Chain A
Amino acid sequence: DAGVIQSPRHEVTEMGQEVTLRCKPISGHDYLFWYRQTMMRGLELLIYFNNNVPIDDSGMPEDRFSAKMPNASFSTLKIQPSEPRDSAVYFCASREGTVRQPQHFGDGTRLSIL
């Protein structure tokens, strides 16, 4: 049973470049979450979707960040333009719609903006 799949695992790019992170949730899961993890701020929820619809994006730091979920099996988190302070590990997680189900996490994308 495949878990949550994220790509790329590592991304190094220069400041000002566009960055796109990808996530494939577990098949059948209704919820998808994007998190950012840093040493300073810990694990932060950026945005989450239910049935491909964004429900809460209040955690998105600024307009440079955007997320989409065009279908039930794919989501992207885009940063444009990127800045050094965006360097972090970005996690995607998914969950079944049934109450009391745990969130399943991908292995994350380690993003470094130079």
Chain B
Amino acid sequence: AQSVTQPDIHITVSEGASLELRCNYSYGATPYLFWYVQSPGQGLQLLLKYFSGDTLVQGIKGFEAEFKRSQSSFNLRKPSVHWSDAAEYFCALYSGNTPLVFGKGTRLSVIA
């Protein structure tokens, strides 16, 4: 069965520091992968997506993610975090069966 694991429930980083949020998936073929962000009181907004080709994908708000098939991972990164990045981040997998399979989410806190 398809699944998405986000090992970190909560991460705290200092403003200006780099960020990496982990995502591991389980799926037998090449997955389609997404990262969404949810700011407080809002719905989920798409940050970026991976379908095929270049394993490093760029998204909005300065985020990027790297697909590593050997590690079944799709980690989200940002070189310098801003206070406005504080939010919940969800990794999701599309396996060909609608709908998306979501991870449990990682809550990001940003401190001064």
In the complex, the answer to whether A42 meets B42 with C-beta atoms within 8 Å is no
A17 to B41, CA, bound (A): 24
Q: Which of B59-112 contact A (CB under 8 A)?
A: 90, 94, 96, 98-100, 102, 104-105
A43 touches B102 (CB 8 A): yes
Using known A-B contacts A42-B104, A43-B105, A50-B98, determine if residue A100 contacts B51 with beta carbons closer than 8 Å: yes
A102 contacts B by Cβ under 8 Å: yes
Q: How many whole Å from A75's CB to the nearest CB in chain B? A: 14
> Is B98 touching A55 in the complex (CB atoms < 8 A)?
yes
The answer to whether B45 touches A105 (Cβ under 8 A) is yes
- Size of the A side of the interface (Cβ < 8 Å), in residues, is 22
Given A31-B98, A31-B99, A33-B99, is A100 in contact with B43 using a C-beta cutoff of 8 Å?
no
- Alpha-carbon gap, A106 to B42, bound state (A): 8
A4: B residues at CB distance < 8 A: 43
The 7 closest A-B pairs by CB, nearest first: A105-B43, A105-B44, A107-B43, A102-B46, A42-B104, A43-B102, A106-B43
Residues of A participating in the B interface, judged by any CB pair closer than 8 Å: 4, 31, 33, 42-43, 45, 48, 50, 55, 91, 93, 95, 99-100, 102-108, 110
